[in-house]
Amino acid sequence: MLPLLCRGGSYMEMIKEMSIDLETYSDVDIKKSGAYRYVESPAFEILLFAVSINGSPVTVYDMASGDVLPENIIHALMDDSVTKWAFNAAFERICLSEYLRREFPEMMKSKYLCPDSWKCSMIWSAYMGLPLSLEGAGSVLGLEEQKLKEGKDLIRYFCVPCKPTKTNGGRTRNLPVHSPEKWELFKAYNKRDVEVEMSIQQKLKKFPVPDFVWEEYHIDQCINDRGIALDWQVVENAIQIDTISKEELLSAMREITKLENPNSVLQMREWLLERGVETDSLDKKAVAAMMKDADEELYEVLSLRQQIAKSSVKKYQAMENVVCDDGRVHGMFQFYGANRSGRWAGRLIQLQNLPQNHMPDLEEARALVRCGDYEALSMLYDSVPNVLSELIRTAFIPKENCKFVVADFSAVEARVLSWLSGEEWRTEVFRNNGDIYCASASAMFGVPVEKHGVNSHLRQKGKIAELALGYGGSVGALKSMGALDMGLKEEELQPLVDMWRQSNPNIVQFWWDVDRAVKFAVKGRTLSETHRIQFCYQSGMLFIKLPSGRRLCYVKPKMGEKQFGGEAVTYEGVGATKKWERIESYGPKFVENIVQAISRDLLCYSMRKLKDYEICAHVHDEVIVECGMDESLDTVCKLMGEVPPWAKGLELRADGYETLFYKKD
């Protein structure tokens, strides 16, 4: 790369690497709408641009006050041979894409800057098991430079609209001139963020993220940039229909209860108490329990309340908030959002937890919503809110003249667990495309079980056992999976646990082999290995090396005591409270992390194999490909089902379907 000439003709510094942090303004709420929608607002602008070039001291360009970025920086932003670093680099890349598109339209070849030359210190932190916030990561690492705590107040002052008051002269935005002191502090905050980011990189430099993980990150960024289209008629009419439906349901409740606001928890609890029903909660589970023994009138009221309380329709409102000018939703996936496995986390609409659809006439119901026919919906279906809930997935559509090919791994975690543990009878089931739930029930009860044939009633027990017991779960896990709601009796649960473990001795052995290997590594601060997995204690970290070569990281592991006695490994991480705390773990829990991490690596491998296809979304172990009408479903499934070189012997299979709108097949 040659040095760049500035306009005056003198040579400017050759840039190999930049660390960047931006402060920006927009009238769009980024938490509700996401970064892609945020930058599309005409009001969007970059206020401050802090940068370190090739590790030099940080310079802050005060763009809100008229500073102009030097030509070499502009060129470097568009040069894929220059590495750009930022904490949550997706934000900086999207913001700078919009800025460059507005200021230098002739130079921008695409809507977004190519992610291939961008690296993210937040992803590096996540890879090392650290928090996904700059402040949190800096604190855990004990950096000398810490993020300035005044930042939130300064962002609230300069980066979002303000309420007009008499005191502020009725303005709707605070500019640098309105508080020069705060503005100088804001520039210092911007500068400090880059310094903290660089300190994180320096602290973690002996634990680099593998190149193949950065490649996966770049694939993720391309998927987020591509986005997925929405059927706006479905979204808009679903919101209108829900409004009408809720008003009718409330009216019906008022008619029966004579309450002014039957949606009020306080009023409803008093009404129930008058009928001899006492409850501390009116959540979905509590109401469902009350309905079991309710008389006709009470049942109807509780049923109406369940329909009104249905929150899944909020997904349509989320769609309305996030859809971009191109009619697509962007930025729904957080790479390495789950740092104990490396799996993605959902953002914005949360595609990972959409309600399933089971309606046999899904397409017909969708057509009624699409044309806004509320009367037909209310006449044909018992619950309009339930219909709207089942149709949420169908709001996602391919672009014109295209279709979706949806492909996913079949029982991937069960396959990985069987492969790692050497539970050969299970692998044989997968090899012969058998039903693992039937096979599991057959192994447990010692009789043949067929899905729609002999002893078919036992399949449900096989299924609940498979879903609940693979990672050391016992009676409590079965209950959490809904075993009692499925008709199993309390006295059946412990025998079910015992039978599953007896028929899967190699899996049980695997749990405790991993438990011993982890403890050996932590106690001896050394290396251990079992079942294709390496465990290593190094520099105050426990690393678990997976067959793919990727490593899971556990911060500051040490031996501790279990809650009910006995020794356990503990480490620091984000716990159930969403706070940084010390977490207790043991063999089966580490096995769960390992199996889910390998399942994630298989998905990433398949994404690479599908690089010539346009993946527009993915959910758990499923990919959604947007492609031409003549594209082959079998080819996509075959590519996705290919076993990586590092997983020889694993029985992997991908199944799929074609559709003109997203659904659960």
Other CB atoms within a 10 A radius of the CB of residue 337 amount to: 16
Predicted confidence (pLDDT) at residue 93 exceeds the cutoff of 90: yes
Reduce the DSSP state of residue 217 to 3 states and report it: helix
Contact partners, residue 505, CB within 8 Å, separation at least 6: none
**CA–CA distance, 633 with 610 (Å, rounded to integer):** 12
pLDDT score, position 301: 85
8 A C-beta contact, residue 85 and residue 15: no
**CA–CA distance, 663 with 665 (Å, rounded to integer):** 6
Q: How far is CA 4 from CA 1, 10, 49, 73, 174, in A?
A: 9, 9, 20, 10, 37
Split at pLDDT 50, 70, 90, the class of 496 is: confident
Q: Select the more confidently predicted residue: 134 or 508.
A: 508
Query: Looking at 15-19, 196-200, 395-399, 490-494, which range is the least confident one?
Result: 490-494
**CA–CA distance, 407 with 658 (Å, rounded to integer):** 9
Instruction: Read off the pLDDT of each residue in 383-391 and give the average, rounded to a whole number.
Output: 91
What b/e sequence results for 649-663 when a residue is b if at least 16 CB atoms lie within 10 Å of its CB, and e otherwise? ebbbbbebebbebbb
Contact partners, residue 647, CB within 8 Å, separation at least 6: 419, 547, 548, 598, 602
Backbone conformation region of residue 366, classed left if phi is above 0, alpha if psi is from -120 to 50, else beta: alpha
What b/e sequence results for 262-289 when a residue is b if at least 16 CB atoms lie within 10 Å of its CB, and e otherwise? bbeeeebbebbeeeeeeeeebeeeebee
8 A C-beta contact, residue 628 and residue 406: no
**CA–CA distance, 481 with 476 (Å, rounded to integer):** 9
8 A C-beta contact, residue 497 and residue 478: yes
Predicted confidence (pLDDT) at residue 99 exceeds the cutoff of 70: yes
Residue 575's φ and ψ, nearest 5 degrees, are: -95, -165
**CA–CA distance, 247 with 650 (Å, rounded to integer):** 54
Q: Of 461, 458, 492, 457, which Cα lies nearest the Cα of 475?
A: 492
Amino acid at 385: P
**CA–CA distance, 539 with 247 (Å, rounded to integer):** 61
Q: Of 275, 225, 354, which Cα lies nearest the Cα of 661?
A: 354
Predicted confidence (pLDDT) at residue 258 exceeds the cutoff of 90: no
Predicted confidence (pLDDT) at residue 310 exceeds the cutoff of 80: no
pLDDT score, position 12: 52
Return mean pLDDT, the chain. 91
Task: State both tokens at 515.
Answer: 């438990």
Each residue's pLDDT tens digit, 11-51: 356 899 999 999 999 999 999 999 999 999 999 999 999 99
Backbone conformation region of residue 533, classed left if phi is above 0, alpha if psi is from -120 to 50, else beta: beta
**CA–CA distance, 296 with 132 (Å, rounded to integer):** 51
- For the chain, the distance separating the N- and C-terminal CA atoms, rounded to the nearest angstrom, is 51
E-only strand ranges, 30-180:
45-53, 59-62, 83-86, 118-120
**CA–CA distance, 126 with 340 (Å, rounded to integer):** 9
Instruction: Read off the pLDDT of each residue in 552-567 and give the average, rounded to a whole number.
Output: 87
Q: What class does CATH assign to 401-418+527-665?
A: alpha beta
8 A C-beta contact, residue 659 and residue 406: yes
Rounded to the nearest 10 degrees, what angle do helices 314-322 and 30-40 cross at?
A: 30
Residue 263's φ and ψ, nearest 5 degrees, are: -80, -10
Predicted confidence (pLDDT) at residue 622 exceeds the cutoff of 60: yes
| Burial class for 427, CB neighbours closer than 10 Å (0-12, 13-18, 19+) | middle
Split at pLDDT 50, 70, 90, the class of 9 is: very low
Q: Of 133, 31, 141, 156, which Cα lies nearest the Cα of 579?
A: 133
pLDDT score, position 150: 83
8 A C-beta contact, residue 507 and residue 421: yes
Asked, colleague to colleague, whether 17-209 and 401-418+527-665 share their fold, the answer is no
pLDDT score, position 512: 96
Predicted confidence (pLDDT) at residue 4 exceeds the cutoff of 60: no
Instruction: Read off the pLDDT of each residue in 343-360 and give the average, rounded to a whole number.
Output: 90
Contact partners, residue 388, CB within 8 Å, separation at least 6: 238, 241, 242, 245, 310, 312, 313, 316, 369
CA dihedral (219, 199, 54, 191) in degrees, to 10, reads 100
**CA–CA distance, 270 with 260 (Å, rounded to integer):** 12
DSSP 8-state secondary structure symbol assigned to residue 535: E
Tokens 């003198």 belong to residue: 10
pLDDT score, position 137: 87
Contact partners, residue 475, CB within 8 Å, separation at least 6: 493, 494, 497
Tokens 């009001």 belong to residue: 43
Split at pLDDT 50, 70, 90, the class of 399 is: very high
Tokens 């001795």 belong to residue: 505
Contact partners, residue 467, CB within 8 Å, separation at least 6: 481
Rg (CA), the chain: 28
Q: What class does CATH assign to 17-209?
A: alpha beta
Domain boundaries, the chain: 17-209, 232-397, 401-418+527-665, 424-503
What b/e sequence results for 609-627 when a residue is b if at least 16 CB atoms lie within 10 Å of its CB, and e otherwise? bbeebbbbbbbbbbbbbbb
